[in-house]
Amino acid sequence: MKTRVAIIGAGPAGLLLGHLLKAEGIDCIVLERQTGDYVLGRIRAGVLEQITVSLMRRLGLDGRMNAEGLPHDGFNLADGERLIRIDIAELTGKQVMVYGQTEITRDLMQAAGSRGLAVIYGAEDVALHDIESDAPSVTYTKDGTQRRIEARFIAGCDGFHGPSRKAIPASAAREFERVYPFGWLGILADVPPCNHELIYANHERGFALASMRSDTRSRYYVDVPLTEHIEDWSDDRIWDELAARLGLEAASNIVRGPALEKSIAPLRSYVFEPMRHGSLLLCGDAAHIVPPTGAKGLNLAASDVHYACDALIGYFHRNDNDAVAGYSAKALARVWKSERFSWSLTKLMHRFPDDGPFERAMQVAELDYIANSVAAQTSIAENYVGLPV
Ligand code: APR
Ligand code: PHB
């Protein structure tokens, strides 16, 4: 098979890029190791920046998001009983959209058929070849037969564990990483949210986040040591911990219900440079990971895809080789700023096991500064809503 862009991975990054290229008349094929149902079974964060919303609009795939998503004007930082509201609408003139990132993937997946986007699920043993040449290829096995896709470019959208990043020689690359000493235990339940806006709480018992998917479905998190096992966390134990950490007012509004899903996810900051090597472009989690504080994961994947799509349009429609050459620097400039914001919000809102009274005093001082400074709130708001692309 021959195509212009072989896309590896049908998560949000791969599907978004596939749809955008297809809409520009640039032929592509998406290869996914798992089944569609498996991909949709992954529970992800739920806050969309403008870049993600605008790409869905550009594709005309924003119908369900407009109908079911909840535009939010602000969110809250809590420290014990103190609640600091960040009024993002007032401070930036923008909003965020609360809409499950899994739903974005579902919308993109369901539209693939009618838009003629070829997605091959169940592709095993995906391997990249000749990425330093102008004629790279991807091999994979499907139904026991090995096949090859010849392309002009490969887009590595295969997440943190995929083969694309590993195809770039170590001598050409640099990795930056921080692993955090806790994970987030998440619970999803069909109960009304305890507050109409998100609350990120720093409590002496640890971090908590109150989020939502709709007026009737809530998503909550508490941070736990990495040694914890999900089997030891009954629904009641999670609800008790949330009530203790979120502050009295939010706690009094918590409605408990059986968990539809619960799991523990580790937190990591990671950046791989460069994001392009030869004919291979990396997008999304294949190139970087952020801790979920700030909900930047999918939004960063969306901005990568925006830049990658522009670069490929430059190459195929305007014979502009420089567009592809500039992709990595352009994408990384935004990636590092999102990394910084996610890391600083993580540091501000969590009790690290090695922290002592000094580090805690720094958190209190910073939260007090934020509570009393429009400049500080504006900085948080413009990062939360998403920096310009
Ligand atoms: N061959 C083919 N596909 C693969 C392979 C492989 N060897 N390895 C991984 N994949 C697929 C995965 O199965 C997955 O569907 O690549 C896809 C990568 O998707 P994600 O991990 O969701 O990564 P990405 O699309 O970059 O998503 C970015 O969106 O939902 C958020 O939090 C999520 O931060 C993440 C962000
Ligand atoms: C979520 O709703 O799952 C969510 C929201 C905000 C975050 C992380 C996760 O920062």
Domain of 307, CATH number, reads: 3.50.50.60
Which ligand sits nearest to residue 13's alpha carbon? Answer: 1
Q: Which residue has the tokens 């670069």?
A: 311
Catalytic residue among 140, 288, 292, 350: 292
Q: Is 2 a catalytic residue?
A: no
Residue 318 lies inside a defined structural domain of this protein = yes
Residue 368 lies inside a defined structural domain of this protein = no
Residue 292 tokens, joined: 């979920």
Residue 37 lies inside a defined structural domain of this protein = yes
Q: Is 292 a catalytic residue?
A: yes
What is the pTM (predicted TM-score) of this model? 0.97
CA of 215 to the centre of ligand 2 (A): 15
Identify the residue whose C-alpha is closest to ligand 2 atom 4: 45
Task: State if residue 13 touches ligand 1 by the CB under 6 angstroms criterion.
Answer: yes
Contacts within 8 Å (CB) and 24+ apart, 248-257: 248/81, 249/83, 250/78, 250/194, 250/195, 250/199, 250/201, 250/210, 251/194, 253/194, 253/195, 254/194, 255/191, 255/192, 255/194, 255/218, 256/189, 256/191, 257/189, 257/190, 257/191
Instruction: Write out the chain's pLDDT in tens, 389 residues.
Output: 999 999 999 999 999 999 999 999 999 999 999 999 999 988 778 899 999 999 999 999 999 999 999 999 999 999 988 999 999 999 999 999 999 989 999 999 999 999 999 999 999 999 999 999 999 999 999 999 999 999 999 999 999 999 999 999 999 999 999 999 999 999 999 999 999 999 999 999 999 999 999 999 999 999 999 999 999 999 999 999 999 999 999 999 999 999 999 999 999 999 999 999 999 999 999 999 999 999 999 999 999 999 999 999 999 999 998 999 999 999 999 999 999 999 999 999 999 999 999 999 999 999 999 999 999 999 999 999 999 99
Domain count, the chain: 1
- Sequence-distant (≥ 6) Cβ neighbours of residue 365 within 8 angstroms: none
Residue 24 lies inside a defined structural domain of this protein = yes
Residue 307 lies inside a defined structural domain of this protein = yes
Residue 290 lies inside a defined structural domain of this protein = yes
Residue 127 lies inside a defined structural domain of this protein = yes
State which of 7, 35, 158, 211 you would mutate to test the pocket of ligand 1, scoring each by most atoms of that ligand within 8 A of its C-beta.
158
Alpha helices in the chain (DSSP H): 12-23, 36-40, 50-58, 63-68, 88-92, 101-115, 235-245, 248-253, 297-318, 321-325, 327-349, 357-372, 374-385
Q: Which domain holds residue 319?
A: 5-72+96-176+268-345
Residue 79 lies inside a defined structural domain of this protein = no
Alpha-carbon distance of 181 to 201, in angstroms, equals 18
Which ligand sits nearest to residue 211's alpha carbon? Answer: 2
